[in-house]
């Protein structure tokens, strides 16, 4: 039976750069990965007052680069869960603005900028969680509580990291890095079988998910 529920209640945009999250967040993620490494390596030489630290670098690679990649993937993949159009338009513009504002504020430094960064990083990650819940509800489908919980925890972790950045014990750096590795393993376990296929009796069958899971764990360790 064909449902008369519309695929989406959105009217803008149907096509273009802001029509799907991967078109925005994946390029931001890739660009920031290169810029972040370059700034950490040479930024203090070019801009002596920049004052970038190892704590900043780890935060930006996990919550900046990783956060943008997660947003691009989850808000695109949720279309296959809900049957609705990809998240885009105003909601995507707001997420990208939150993400960009966080990066700029952490570069500027200072108590006021860090306070704004805490608000914007919470808005970014908790905004992803809210959009996932909204899409599931409006699509009449079951949500993905694991990914929602990850986004909520990432927002809280990023905010705490920014607040406590000067006081963080280096031994605790491993936890967000391990969390990011676990998330990549879980996402890869679901994603790889969709793009890797093997011919079987003249048909193309997806690779079993446990295979990609083992490969993901091998690369993460």
pLDDT tens by residue, 123-166: 999 999 999 999 888 877 777 788 888 899 899 989 988 988 76
Counting the structural domains of the chain, the total is: 2
Do the domain assignments include residue 6?
no
190 and 160 co-located in one domain: no
Do 59 and 36 reside in the same domain of the chain? Answer: yes
- Quote the pLDDT of residue 165: 78
CA triplet 120, 60, 53: central angle to 5 degrees? 115
Question: Tokens standing for 80?
Answer: 């296959």
**pLDDT tier for residue 169 given thresholds of 50, 70 and 90:** low
180 within domain boundaries: yes
76 within 8 A of 28, measured Cβ to Cβ = no
| Structural domain range at position 209 | 169-221
Mean pLDDT of the chain: 77
Question: Which of the pair, 6 or 163, is modelled with greater confidence?
Answer: 163
Task: Provide the percentage of residues in the chain whose pLDDT is more than 70.
Answer: 68
Residue 177: pLDDT band with limits 50, 70, 90: low
Taking only the tens place, the pLDDT of each residue in 73-122 is 888 888 877 878 888 889 999 999 999 999 999 998 888 999 999 999 99
Same domain, 74 and 93: yes
On whether both 56 and 145 belong to a single domain, the answer is yes
| Boundary-marking domain end, from 149, 167, 185 | 167
Helices (H), the chain: 21-38, 44-46, 54-59, 66-82, 90-108, 111-139, 145-164, 174-195, 209-220
Domain boundary among 126, 141, 167: 167
Is 2 domain-assigned? no
220 and 112 assigned to the same domain? no
Does a structural domain hold residue 200?
Answer: yes
3-state secondary structure (DSSP) of residue 84: coil
In a domain, 152, yes or no: yes
DSSP-derived letter for residue 200 is E
Residue that has been written with the tokens 């793009």 in this structure: 195
Question: Do both 75 and 38 map to the same domain?
Answer: yes
Task: Find the radius of gyration of the CA atoms of the chain.
Answer: 19
Helix (H, G, I), strand (E, B) or coil at 32: helix
Q: How far apart are CA 84 and CA 140, in angstroms?
A: 10
Say if residue 74 is in the same domain as residue 111: yes
| Phi, psi at 43, each rounded to 5° | -60, -40
In a domain, 146, yes or no: yes
**Predicted confidence (pLDDT) at residue 215 exceeds the cutoff of 60:** no
3-state secondary structure of 88: coil
Q: Is residue 9 part of a domain?
A: no
**Residue 36 and residue 135 in one domain:** yes
Asked whether residue 75 is domain-assigned, the answer is yes
- Given 131, 151, 167, the domain boundary residue is 167
Whether 162 and 204 share a structural domain: no
Same domain, 162 and 174: no
Three-state DSSP class for 80? helix
Cα–Cα distance measured from residue 176 to residue 183, given in angstroms and rounded to the nearest whole number: 10
Is there a single domain that holds both residue 97 and residue 160? Answer: yes
Q: Are 154 and 72 contained in the same domain?
A: yes
């Amino acid at each position: 039976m064909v449902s008369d529920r519309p695929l989406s209640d959105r009217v803008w945009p149907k096509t273009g750069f802001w029509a799907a999250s991967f078109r925005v967040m994946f390029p931001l993620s890739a660009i920031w990965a290169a810029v972040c490494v370059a700034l950490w390596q040479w930024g203090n030489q070019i801009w002596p007052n920049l004052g970038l630290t190892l704590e900043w670098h780890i935060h930006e690679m996990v919550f900046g680069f990783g956060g943008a990649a997660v947003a691009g993937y989850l808000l695109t993949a949720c279309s296959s869960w809900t049957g609705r159009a990809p998240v885009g338009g105003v909601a995507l513009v707001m997420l990208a603005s939150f993400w960009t504002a966080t990066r700029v504020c952490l570069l500027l430094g200072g108590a006021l900028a860090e306070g704004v960064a805490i608000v914007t990083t919470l808005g970014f990650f908790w905004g992803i969680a809210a959009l996932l819940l909204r899409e599931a509800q409006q699509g009449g489908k079951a949500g993905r509580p694991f990914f929602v919980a990850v986004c909520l925890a990432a927002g809280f972790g990023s905010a705490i990291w920014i607040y406590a950045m000067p006081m963080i014990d280096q031994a605790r750096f491993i936890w967000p890095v391990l969390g990011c590795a676990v998330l990549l393993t879980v996402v890869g376990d679901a994603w790889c079988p969709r793009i890797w296929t093997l011919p079987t009796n003249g048909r193309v069958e997806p690779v079993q998910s446990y295979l990609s899971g083992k490969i993901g764990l091998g690369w993460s360790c």
